[in-house]
Amino acid sequence: MTDLIEKSLANLAQKYNQDLLEKAKAIKLVICDVDGVLSNGKVYFGNENEELKSFNIKDGLGIKQLLNNGIQVAIITGRESNIVSRRSKELGIVHVYQGKKDKIASYDEILENLNLIPEQVAHVGDDLPDIPLMNRSGLGICVSDAHFFVKQNADWSTSSIGGDGAVREISDLLLYSQGKLQNILKNYLC
């Protein structure tokens, strides 16, 4: 089993350059946008004014693994939705800022509350409003289907699209860089 884990980690390591791993090693907080990052960016409205979004279970497990390994997760989103509140509660995300047009103020508040500096933050986005937070952070990440200008401003782009495992990729990157992914994998193989 250990050989299987080592081979899998070696394959994963080929995806990362040393600069990315150094930045990822310092991360203590991941801030995510919702629409286009945690969801696929589509919002469905029903006849009874209900709003529907989809979330990926793999992303959820990645978030739980981050939280269980000392990396905080926060949400800053311009929209407000009961669905986001529910999903955040299910996953144990306590730092949730919804309906925020001024995302920088929320970002600064989270860092102050957690006593962190920008170099310890990874921000994940997909569109233009995310660029200021990505640029402020130690690690700016975008999903593979992000707007072209966001991709040009990101330190790293996932291979998965938003809402389809991109946050899980980020979780794997951070946990790998911090030497924690191997033990997580061992726990699932035993």
In CATH, what number is assigned to the domain containing residue 179? 3.40.50.1000
Q: Which of 25-29, 56-60, 179-183 has the lowest average pLDDT?
A: 179-183
Mean pLDDT of 101-122: 96
Q: pLDDT-derived band of residue 2, with 50, 70 and 90 as boundaries?
A: confident
Q: Domain span at residue 61?
A: 2-189
**Beta partners for 97?**
76
pTM of the model: 0.94
Domains of the chain: total: 1
Above 90 in pLDDT, residue 101? no
CA–CA dist 82, 67 (Å, integer): 22
Q: How many CA atoms lie within 13 A of 83 on its CB side?
A: 16
User: What are the counts of helices (DSSP H) followed by strands (DSSP E) for the chain?
Assistant: 9, 8
Cβ–Cβ < 8 Å for 165, 56: yes
Confidence (pLDDT) at 92:
97
